Chain A
């Protein structure tokens, strides 16, 4: 595999999943087809591997994980192991070479954004998408904080929930590398998620938008009662509006974020204009179309200062899998030959 440590988002595409993980590869591809994506760079999967090797933290982690093999999925054991692994990773220094390249890239990004130390978001990106499994660090400024967040992202591979899931899936034997995306922080007035299909009502002609004031974390982590909009993808007309009682929001502070109360006069008014709503759906349609019509789960944000429509950004997309009709089984029974299984499965799919 390519041993490059840093890639800029605009030099990547979907085919780079093996270099920079699914989240970043998909994001890069969105940028490539001209969609508004915050600029930034990615620490590749190789960077993770290199960290694991040069600091010899890998052996230590394998030791902790191997103890879990007996009781895969035991959350208490996973928690204990997770704590130890986090500590082990935090203790290690980021290798000199990676550190140098991260600092140089961060400086370049800051320059592009016209700042000394531009605030960035730091997100993990695994080879496969594990919605909600890995961490995001927002509004990070300066080399030290950035490197710390990167280490946290690497460590997020080993959160109790992630460990429990991974051991259950039997992946513990091999530690999957994880990439880390570093992007311009969007100071969001509003943010949220968009599904390019009504998966519950099973209507692919509708887009469903959930939105809250402030940063997207409020909606993603389902802490609030967001606004909900239903928009026709064909006519772009707003079909339904449910304005939620939005009592709290996530906002950026000097370093990091915190949850704040929403001023009373803003709690019950829509946090997106119709104009913004339809523009957002237009962009989402492009994403869905680009991915072959597979319904997408898109995170977006509306910048507080930029004028419309430059204020709308797409933060992430992933194909909706969890709530789409369950995938059909295709596993080969152990006693069947490969060719036999292919023939059987083909006949089942095409002729039954």
Chain B
């Protein structure tokens, strides 16, 4: 309460800004730590809380989640807070349960068809949006396009939540069964073996980038990559026959960008260019591969991981009675999908949708900037959709003052860290707060917002303790990455240390020896990808980015969940 009174978020007002009333209505609000640190720009924050709120509530209602109406979302100064809308009436819960049971059955049996339909619906709309010429269309058509893209984003979140709720529910249930019957859970190496050896859409991009690097070598273009800064590589390639071929041939760089360039490097924030606009991150990855050399190891490694996984599957199944192995296998397969789904869903949902939203809003920004209504076309991120629309037709309000005030405010709130993890009536009683959250039965929130509590184990004499997320041990120099712009600094053989990682960082994984995160759990991006690359990952260390230093030699143990700082040299 006191916290809210101290910094009233009055600069940007919309219906989902946290209010005094919200603190009365819900006993506790939980910071969406996995996504909203660092804090977001006003437009992105608006879009994230509106989209997620709509999606969660829609999905929870449509599948009949028994104990909650989904998650409610609010914004405080660029950060999202969530709280479950609990169902306490027993009769209501029972009624929903029947619907939920039916949905789960259908989801287990018909997963492939359901997912295919979702992908098709998304792709059809995306293709339509991509075909729209944002720069040369009439303004009223751009207005319409903006409205459509932002509106479709609600549908994107609805399908997203439906899939997430269902997939996570089955993943968590299989974990529960294994914990109950076999004593293993999602921090056990055996669990990690069970959950890896799967391909997904994101790896397709990594593999393609690797092929592009090899192709560059074949065409004798290494020196063009090596001798030019990232942003000048493409113009330099344009000047040679071989370079143009590399870019334009089938499966070349142009096609790569069309398929995989719809990704935003800073989570999915609007204030950073998508690869399709500025491909230099992709170029930089290719340069890093050139420096490392060798083959794309993922496919070779995967063969072994698949073998290991099949062995783990047999071992785990053998510990269940023969009579139960049929349905346990079915459940296991459903749980195993969670990893690849968690990973590739961002491609289909967040990445593409937000790239398209940025593209539409940026085009509006350009038109406003042309009329001097804002200074820079990129300033659109400080405006809310209605403000953009209002100023598109007729173009008349000078927003420069408003934008400059908001920009200043944005930079101020970005510095206000850390944000409280809990606010509301239960904020000072974390145990009661966790109980409140767990009562919702919302696995997405439990797996993403909180993670598992880490226990220090003094007998290991480690410098950091976390949860094991991908087994193995590695040593190497630490490389702390706090923002996507630093990724280019990674050198082969380093151990990545970050608060969290995002899917657009995956191309760097083949260079890494290990990963340490401040946050995260077994379905975090780094955990899933780390397992596939067979490198150790430790999550939820809390303070790795604060405690470790660049270049420090460290040992990371993803089996035990511990990190040691080694003497240098």
What is A's interface to B at a CB cutoff of 8 Å? 14-15, 17-18, 33, 127-128, 282, 285-286, 289-292, 294, 319, 327-328, 330-332, 337-347, 349-351
Nearest CB of A to B369, in Å: 52
Q: Which residues of B contact A342 (CB under 8 A)?
A: 104-105, 108, 170, 173, 327, 330-331, 334
Please, how many angstroms separate the alpha-carbon atoms of A11 and B183 in the complex? 23
Q: A17, A286, A345: which has the most chain B beta carbons within 10 Å?
A: A17
Return the 4 tightest CB-CB contacts between A and B, nearest first: A294-B183, A338-B327, A343-B104, A339-B108
Q: A14-B190, A289-B457, A346-B169 are in contact. Are A128 and B330 (CB under 8 A)?
A: no
Please, how many angstroms separate the alpha-carbon atoms of A285 and B315 in the complex? 25
Q: Are A15 and B312 in contact (CB under 8 A)?
A: yes
Nearest CB of B to A197, in Å: 13
Nearest CB of B to A21, in Å: 11
Q: A14-B190, A17-B315, A18-B311 are in contact. Are A331 and B97 (CB under 8 A)?
A: no
What is B's interface to A at a CB cutoff of 8 Å? 66-67, 93, 97, 100-102, 104-105, 108-109, 169-170, 172-173, 176-177, 179-181, 183-185, 187-190, 193, 308, 311-312, 314-315, 318-319, 321, 323-324, 326-327, 330-331, 334, 441, 455, 457, 459, 560
**Selected A-B contacts with CB under 8 Å, 30 pairs:** A14-B189, A15-B190, A15-B315, A17-B315, A17-B318, A18-B311, A18-B315, A33-B560, A285-B459, A286-B459, A289-B457, A292-B179, A292-B185, A319-B183, A327-B180, A328-B180, A330-B180, A331-B324, A332-B324, A332-B326, A332-B327, A342-B104, A342-B327, A342-B334, A343-B102, A346-B104, A346-B170, A347-B66, A349-B173, A350-B176
**Chain A residue at minimal CB-CB distance from B100:** A347
**Which residue in A290, A292, A327, A338 is a CB contact (below 8 Å) of B181?**
A327
**Which residue in A33, A339, A349 is a CB contact (below 8 Å) of B105?**
A339
Q: Are B97 and A347 in contact (CB under 8 A)?
A: yes
Nearest CB of B to A139, in Å: 32
Nearest CB of A to B106, in Å: 8
Q: A15-B311, A17-B315, A347-B100 are in contact. Are A291 and B330 (CB under 8 A)?
A: no
Q: Are B457 and A351 in contact (CB under 8 A)?
A: no
Chain A contact surface mostly: helix
Nearest CB of A to B48, in Å: 28
Q: Which residues of B contact A291 (CB under 8 A)?
A: 183
Please, how many angstroms separate the alpha-carbon atoms of A327 and B321 in the complex? 14
Q: Are A330 and B187 in contact (CB under 8 A)?
A: no
Q: Are B459 and A282 in contact (CB under 8 A)?
A: yes
Q: Are B104 and A18 in contact (CB under 8 A)?
A: no
**Chain A residue at minimal CB-CB distance from B98:** A347
Nearest CB of B to A222, in Å: 25
Please, how many angstroms separate the alpha-carbon atoms of A127 and B323 in the complex? 17
Please, how many angstroms separate the alpha-carbon atoms of A349 and B175 in the complex? 12
Q: Which residues of A contact B97 (CB under 8 A)?
A: 347, 351
Q: Which residues of A contact B318 (CB under 8 A)?
A: 17-18, 127
Nearest CB of A to B99, in Å: 11
Q: Are A343 and B101 in contact (CB under 8 A)?
A: yes
Q: Which residues of A contact B457 (CB under 8 A)?
A: 286, 289
Q: Are B560 and A338 in contact (CB under 8 A)?
A: no
Nearest CB of B to A204, in Å: 13
Name 18 extra pairs, CB < 8 A, besides A289-B455, A330-B181, A342-B108. A15-B315, A18-B314, A282-B459, A285-B459, A292-B183, A328-B180, A330-B324, A338-B108, A339-B105, A342-B173, A342-B327, A343-B101, A343-B102, A343-B108, A346-B104, A346-B169, A349-B177, A351-B67
Q: Which residues of A contact B172 (CB under 8 A)?
A: 350
Q: A15-B190, A319-B183 are in contact. Are A350 and B315 (CB under 8 A)?
A: no
Please, how many angstroms separate the alpha-carbon atoms of A322 and B564 in the complex? 38
Q: Are B441 and A351 in contact (CB under 8 A)?
A: yes
Q: Which residues of B contact A33 (CB under 8 A)?
A: 560
Q: Are B323 and A331 in contact (CB under 8 A)?
A: yes
Q: A282, A343, A345: which has the most chain B beta carbons within 10 Å?
A: A343
Q: Which residues of A contact B181 (CB under 8 A)?
A: 327, 330
Q: Which residues of A contact B66 (CB under 8 A)?
A: 347, 351
Please, how many angstroms separate the alpha-carbon atoms of A173 and B459 in the complex? 47
Q: Are A350 and B327 in contact (CB under 8 A)?
A: no
Please, how many angstroms separate the alpha-carbon atoms of A289 and B468 in the complex? 12
Please, how many angstroms separate the alpha-carbon atoms of A290 and B190 in the complex? 12
Q: Are A290 and B560 in contact (CB under 8 A)?
A: yes
Q: Are A349 and B330 in contact (CB under 8 A)?
A: no
**Chain A residue at minimal CB-CB distance from B559:** A33
Nearest CB of A to B336, in Å: 14
Please, how many angstroms separate the alpha-carbon atoms of A260 and B468 in the complex? 48
Q: Which residues of A contact B193 (CB under 8 A)?
A: 15
Q: A282-B459, A285-B459, A350-B441 are in contact. Are A338 and B326 (CB under 8 A)?
A: yes
Q: Which residues of A contact B105 (CB under 8 A)?
A: 337, 339-340, 342-343
Q: Which residues of A contact B188 (CB under 8 A)?
A: 292
**Chain B residue at minimal CB-CB distance from A25:** B315
Please, how many angstroms separate the alpha-carbon atoms of A128 and B101 in the complex? 34
**Chain A residue at minimal CB-CB distance from B326:** A338
Nearest CB of B to A168, in Å: 13
Q: Which residues of A contact B327 (CB under 8 A)?
A: 332, 338-339, 341-342
